[in-house]
Amino acid sequence: MINFTAPKTLLLKKPNPQEFIRTLDTESDILVKCVFDNSSHQAYIVIPELWESLAPDVTIFQLYHYVTRNGQQALWPIKAVLQTSRRDTWIMSAHQVANNALSNWLRAIPNQSKRRYESIVASGTASFNSSAYELTNQQIFDQINDDLIIRSLSHPLAKKLRGTGL
- Please tell me the predicted confidence (pLDDT) of residue 7: 41
- pTM, rounded to two decimals: 0.87
- Please tell me the predicted confidence (pLDDT) of residue 2: 45
Query: How many Å apart are CA 14 and CA 31, to the nearest integer?
Result: 16
Torsion angle of the four alpha carbons 146, 59, 21, 140, in this order, in degrees rounded to the nearest 10: 40
On the 0-12 / 13-18 / 19+ scale of CB atoms within 10 A, 81 is middle
Per-residue pLDDT in tens (0 to 9) along the chain, 166 residues: 444 443 457 899 999 999 999 999 887 789 999 999 999 999 999 999 999 999 999 999 999 999 998 889 999 999 998 755 677 899 999 999 999 999 999 999 999 999 999 999 998 767 788 888 888 888 898 899 989 999 999 999 999 999 986 6
CA distances from 79 to 71, 107, 126, 128, 133 (A): 25, 19, 30, 27, 24
- Please tell me the predicted confidence (pLDDT) of residue 67: 93
